[in-house]
Amino acid sequence: MAPRKTASVSSRKAAAKPAKKDFAGGTIAEFSKEAELKAYREMLLIRRFEEKAGQLYGMGFIGGFCHLYIGQEAVVVGMQLALKEGDQVITGYRDHGHMLACGMSARGVMAELTGRRGGLSKGKGGSMHMFSKEKHFYGGHGIVGAQVSLGTGLAFANRYRGNDNVSLAYFGDGAANQGQVYESFNMAALWKLPVIYIVENNRYAMGTSVSRASAQTDFSQRGASFGIPGYQVDGMDVRAVKAAADEAVEHCRSGKGPIILEMLTYRYRGHSMSDPAKYRSKDEVQKMRSEHDPIEQVKARLVEKGWASEDELKQVDKEVRDIVADSADFAQSDPEPDVAELYTDILL
Amino acid sequence: MPVEILMPALSPTMEEGTLSKWLKNEGDKVASGDVIAEIETDKATMEVEAVDEGTIGKLLIAAGTEGVKVNTPIAVLLQDGEAAGDIASAKTEAPKPAAAEAPAPAAAPVAAQPKAEIPSDPAIPAGTEMVTITVREALRDAMAEEMRADDDVFVMGEEVAEYQGAYKITQGLLQEFGPRRVVDTPITEHGFAGIGVGAAMTGLRPIVEFMTFNFAMQAIDHIINSAAKTLYMSGGQMGAPIVFRGPSGAAARVAAQHSQCYAAWYSHIPGLKVVMPYTAADAKGLLKAAIRDPNPVIFLENEILYGQSFEVPKLDDFVLPIGKARIHRVGKDATIVSFGIGMTYAVKAAAELEAQGIDVEIIDLRTIRPMDLPTVIESVKKTGRLVTVEEGYPQSSVGTEIATRVMQQAFDYLDAPILTVAGKDVPMPYAANLEKLALPNVAEVVEAVKAVCYK
């Protein structure tokens, strides 16, 4: 067996890299009390939602594939804090966290997971295929890497329409090796499209570690041959993500073309629900959880700065749990789609 | 109230497993995410994590127990302030039975797929001037007209702008509409097809030109998985109003990788429309319709037909319905159904057969999906005999699809088995003599029609 890398996130952190032109990189955004509380609440919602989804999967309410986002919450929550109305988001199959962060309803997501009519896709899409025109969320894609070309197309549309919106195309370290990613990089750079490519490097493409699949493991530099700047970011620290997001969004909005953010992150759970995760050690997982957990980091700061008491945080926990419990109840009691839905939504 | 922890299903197919090991004992505190037990499934040993916080009150299933059914309570978790005495009042994690255990619903009758009503071709006003133009010009005119009418329409592809089109279909478009709307792409079909679909998901109306549909094999994932399926997967929220167009099928002496008809391939896919015109009028009217269509449309052209001339009505806005066949020649003795370049064989065969006293009706399908079977069946009811003609491979061809459906829906009207004329079941050879043999020919069509007429 190949030796495992057990470097912690902090040792791979952006701060270790020299700052590059036009981009401070590795900076930590100053968070107000309100921002910390918002980040705490949103990350906790994703965490609790995913735990509940895992539980419902275990009980047979959720079928097929179910990829949980636990551990990676700071990435999408931090990015979302930098966006404005009309900015678009697209991602792969590990998408529940992105949808919640985009403001899509917990009920709608959970009921889609259970395949019920109140699901965001009326029960016809499932875990990997949900969309929201209203929230500018373009899926939820089950084909690894497809969202990168599609997300570049969203940016193309923004430029075509002459607005200043940006699109965020999330993909994993596994997808980063797909050919269409580089076709997209080329066109995005050629046409200066406002797209932020966010590589969520959680170290494993299913069961294959980055070092076993990638000749160049610094994904932030994967755009180098197209002249696309890229930066590594501590994806476990929501403030670092927000700081990078602010700069990247500004870069895109000001017409400088695409940019790559490599988020150094970690998924605590297996690739999908049926993955025993034997390709990594328990110590590695435990170390990440105990030393770098994105939610615990915020919680510790809130308490340390006296911005929230334990009781206040417990109140947030309760509110989040209530939202999740409500979504789970709904997702179990909502009826399955009407059988007539079999033949709807094929053509307009 | 104490919470029962249930035996989880850890794969889509798991029904029971072995509770191999407890990692927490009675009295231990657990937090969300803590591993509490290990379970062996038929595939692997998996860890069970706690969802709720609390103290393990009681372990209900001993370590090493085999065959523990999914959803059996395996432990009781006490929450803040609860004692072992509360265990009896434990509630299960979820009050309702798992969907998997619910009684199978009675097979509810599912209404057949609703058939959209497709209008007939618009009437051409009396006295309309007919102009003779090539298929190439008709396609260009269709795009130009639609681009003038709607700023959301743009064309992208290899060599569509500066070079004026590899086959000169986009001639003049760059000069009229500029580089914003006539976009030269690098040679990256997979990538630009995905960019086109992404743009279409926001409501733009891209026309993606493939230099040939052979190269679209690199992009077929986006055509099918991204464009055709999104409307369904999104519960109707979001689709892709996009046209993929370009030449399909054999040209001349370009051999196996550049000579393949994609009509049958794409016609397999729900969520796509597939158009394959023969005449210049149909090319123009159907391409305009395809650009306006809110669904992804595959528009299959043919390099050999590009230079052929036909009459096209001179109208400001000549649009034809997608999904409607056209009776190209009225006859009574046998029906030939064809489309695209296949029509050239059908038309010549009909002339020869006329000389031999057989009066053939020719139906130009024009659209492969949705397929206008009613028009075919109406004709078969009259003639009782049917031959299909296409250049594509014979297995799972458009012809075999037509034959199957006519057999199922109009068996009693048939006076002879349906014959299908297609390309031969070989990759396209390069040598001139072999290439000729690989394609269908007029004699084969004549023979097939005579055979179904028992002559």
Compute CA distances A279 → A142, A318, B11, whole Å. 23, 35, 18
Q: Which CATH architecture has domain B326-452?
A: 3-Layer(aba) Sandwich (3.40)
Q: What is the DSSP string of A139-204?
A: EE--STTHHHHHHHHHHHHHHHHT----EEEEEETTGGGSHHHHHHHHHHHHTT--EEEEEEE-SE
Reading phi first (left if > 0) and then psi (alpha if -120 to 50, else beta), residue B126 is in: beta
The predicted model scores a pTM of: 0.90
Q: Which residues lie below 8 Å from residue A279, measured CB to CB, with a gap of 6+? A: A204, A207, A208, A209
List pLDDT tens digits, range A212-271: 999 999 999 999 999 999 999 999 999 999 999 999 999 999 999 999 999 999 999 888
> What DSSP state is assigned to residue B262?
-
**What is the ipTM for the molecules in this complex?**
0.92
The residue assigned the tokens 């309410």 is A61
Q: What's the CATH code of the domain at A295?
A: 3.40.50.970
* Coil, strand or helix at B92: strand
CA-based nearest residue in chain B for residue A71:
B33
Q: Is residue A61's pLDDT more than 70?
A: yes
Of A131, A273, A343, the CB nearest to B234: A131
Q: Is residue A201's pLDDT more than 90?
A: yes
Q: Is residue B106's pLDDT more than 80?
A: no
- Among B40, B155, B195, B242, most A C-beta atoms within 10 A, so best to mutate, is B195
Domains in chain A, number = 1
Which range has the worst mean pLDDT, A304-313, B87-96, B365-374?
Answer: B87-96
For strand B273-275 and strand B297-301, is the pairing parallel, antiparallel, or unpaired? parallel
* Coil, strand or helix at B327: strand
| Cβ-based contacts of B106 with chain A (< 8 Å) | none
Token pair recorded at residue B206: 């891209």
CB within 8 Å: A179 and B190: yes
CB within 8 Å: B225 and A143: yes
Of B261, B304, B253, whose CA–CA distance to B429 is shortest?
B253
What average pLDDT does range B133-140 have in this prediction? 98
CA-based nearest residue in chain A for residue B100:
A60
- Among B234, B242, B275, most A C-beta atoms within 10 A, so best to mutate, is B234
Q: CB burial class (10 A; 0-12, 13-18, 19+) of residue B38?
A: middle
Residues shown for chain B: 455
For strand A204-205 and strand A208-209, is the pairing parallel, antiparallel, or unpaired? antiparallel
Rounded Cα distance, A222 and A185, in Å:
9
Q: Which residues lie below 8 Å from residue B441, measured CB to CB, with a gap of 6+? A: B345
As a whole number, the mean pLDDT across chain A is 92
| Cβ-based contacts of B226 with chain A (< 8 Å) | 141, 143, 146, 150
CA-based nearest residue in chain A for residue B232:
A345
Q: Is residue A155's pLDDT more than 60?
A: yes
The beta strands (E) that lie in B50-88 are given as 54-59, 65-69, 73-78
CB within 8 Å: A55 and B12: no
Rounded Cα distance, B164 and B140, in Å:
11
Q: Is residue B91's pLDDT more than 80?
A: no
**Domain residue limits, chain B:** 3-90, 130-313, 326-452
The β-bridge partners of B92 are B4
Rounded Cα distance, A237 and A261, in Å:
14
Of B88, B98, B20, whose CA–CA distance to B58 is shortest?
B88
Q: Quick one: what percent of chain A has pLDDT higher than 90? A: 86
Q: Quick one: what percent of chain B has pLDDT higher than 90? A: 75
The residue range of the domain holding A48 is 23-101+135-324
Of B33, B37, B15, B42, whose CA–CA distance to A60 is shortest?
B15
The residue assigned the tokens 């700023």 is B151
Which 80-139 residues of chain B touch chain A by CB within 8 A?
A: 93-94, 96, 98-101, 105, 108-114, 116
Q: What is the DSSP string of A111-152?
A: HHHTT-TTSTTTTSS-TT---BTTTTEEEE--STTHHHHHHH
Within a domain: residue A320?
Answer: yes
The residue assigned the tokens 């104490």 is B2
List pLDDT tens digits, range B182-208: 999 999 999 999 999 999 999 999 999
CB within 8 Å: B200 and A153: yes
Query: Is B373 within 8 Å of B406 (Cβ atoms)?
Result: yes
Compute CA distances A314 → A320, B4, B269, B350, whole Å. 10, 23, 52, 83
CB within 8 Å: B99 and A129: no
Q: Is residue B32's pLDDT more than 90?
A: no
> What DSSP state is assigned to residue A89?
E
Q: Quick one: pLDDT band at residue B147, thresholds 50, 70, 90?
A: very high
Topology of the domain comprising B3-90: OB fold (Dihydrolipoamide Acetyltransferase, E2P) (2.40.50)
Cβ of residue B296 closer than 8 Å to a chain A Cβ: no
Token pair recorded at residue B338: 């064809």
Q: Is residue A77's pLDDT more than 50?
A: yes
Q: For position A282, what pLDDT does the model report?
A: 87
CB within 8 Å: A131 and B191: no
Rounded Cα distance, B94 and B6, in Å:
9
Which 217-246 residues of chain B touch chain A by CB within 8 A?
A: 221-222, 225-226, 230-239
Q: For position A25, what pLDDT does the model report?
A: 56
Q: For position A20, what pLDDT does the model report?
A: 44
Q: Is residue B418's pLDDT more than 70?
A: yes
Rounded Cα distance, A99 and A327, in Å:
14
Q: Is residue B72's pLDDT more than 70?
A: yes
Distance from CA of A133 to the nearest CA of B (A): 7
Containing B56, the helix (H) or strand (E) segment is: strand B54-59
The residue assigned the tokens 């079977």 is B373
Token pair recorded at residue B37: 């037990």
Query: Is A214 within 8 Å of A184 (Cβ atoms)?
Result: no
CB within 8 Å: A348 and B294: yes
* Coil, strand or helix at B338: strand
Rounded Cα distance, B31 and B55, in Å:
9
Q: For position A276, what pLDDT does the model report?
A: 82
Q: Would you state the torsion angle of the CA atoms of residues B209, B210, B212, B213, taken in this order, to the nearest 10 degrees?
A: -110
The residue assigned the tokens 């054999």 is B250
Distance from CA of A38 to the nearest CA of B (A): 21
Q: For position A85, what pLDDT does the model report?
A: 97
Q: Helix H segments across B384-431? A: 398-410
List pLDDT tens digits, range B166-187: 999 999 999 999 999 999 999 9
Handedness of CA B18, B34, A278, B21 (dihedral sign): negative
- Which residue type is seen at A202? N
Rounded Cα distance, A77 and B42, in Å:
37
Within a domain: residue A341?
Answer: no
**How far does CA B257 lie from the centroid of its chain?**
22
Query: In which order are the strands placed within the sheet that holds B153-157?
Result: B182-184, B153-157, B205-209, B243-247, B297-301, B273-275, B367-369
Distance from CA of B42 to the nearest CA of A (A): 11
The residue assigned the tokens 């299909």 is B388
| Cβ-based contacts of B12 with chain A (< 8 Å) | 63-65, 274
Of B94, B202, B239, the CB nearest to A59: B94
Rounded Cα distance, B376 and B335, in Å:
8
Of A135, A132, A128, A134, whose CA–CA distance to A113 is shortest?
A128
Q: Quick one: pLDDT band at residue B90, thresholds 50, 70, 90?
A: low
Q: Quick one: pLDDT band at residue B101, thresholds 50, 70, 90?
A: very low
Confirm whether B3-90 and B130-313 share one CATH topology: no
Q: For position A23, what pLDDT does the model report?
A: 52
Q: Within 13 Å, how many C-alpha atoms sit on residue B35's CB side?
A: 18
| Cβ-based contacts of A269 with chain B (< 8 Å) | 49
| Cβ-based contacts of A289 with chain B (< 8 Å) | 33
Q: Is residue A6's pLDDT more than 90?
A: no
Cβ of residue B33 closer than 8 Å to a chain A Cβ: yes
Q: Quick one: pLDDT band at residue B111, thresholds 50, 70, 90?
A: low
Rounded Cα distance, A323 and A309, in Å:
21
Q: What is the DSSP string of A257-284?
A: --EEEEEE---SS-SSTT---TTS-HHH
Q: Is residue B112's pLDDT more than 80?
A: no
| Cβ-based contacts of B14 with chain A (< 8 Å) | 274
Which range has the worst mean pLDDT, A35-39, B66-70, B129-133, B359-363?
Answer: B66-70
List pLDDT tens digits, range B223-267: 999 999 999 999 999 999 999 999 999 998 999 999 999 999 999
Rounded Cα distance, B288 and B307, in Å:
20
Topology of the domain comprising B130-313: Rossmann fold (3.40.50)
Rounded Cα distance, A155 and A87, in Å:
9
| Residues of B assigned a catalytic role | 189, 258
Compute CA distances B91 → A26, A63, A303, B87, B302, whole Å. 48, 24, 34, 9, 68
**How far does CA B377 lie from the centroid of its chain?**
24
Token pair recorded at residue A188: 């995005």
Token pair recorded at residue B320: 């034809």
Q: Which residues lie below 8 Å from residue A162, measured CB to CB, with a gap of 6+? A: none
Reading phi first (left if > 0) and then psi (alpha if -120 to 50, else beta), residue A301 is in: alpha
Token pair recorded at residue A218: 């610094």
Q: Quick one: what percent of chain A has pLDDT higher than 70? A: 93
